[in-house]
Amino acid sequence: MLLRRMIWEAMRLYSVRWFNIRYVTNDVTIENYRFVKDSRLMLLSFVINRHSS
């Protein structure tokens, strides 16, 4: 089990934190999505760069 966790950490398959929260400092539009100032965004690092299969 320890060896498996060491390999996962080395490959960064499983992040220490599965999500991060960021605050929008200015109104911004990205690819037709509008984010208003002071809203919160949750970035799911667990699903970023993952294959759908």
pTM over 0.85: no
Annotated domain spans of the chain: 17-48
Average pLDDT over residues 4-24: 83
* Torsions phi, psi for 20 (to 5 deg): -130, 150
Residue of 23, 24, 14, 21 whose CA lies nearest to 43: 21
> 49: which DSSP letter?
T
Distance (Å) of CA 13 to CA 5, 8, 39, 49, 52: 10, 5, 29, 10, 14
- Rounded to a whole number of angstroms, the CA Rg of the chain reads 16
Model confidence over 27-42: pLDDT tens digits? 999 999 999 999 999 9
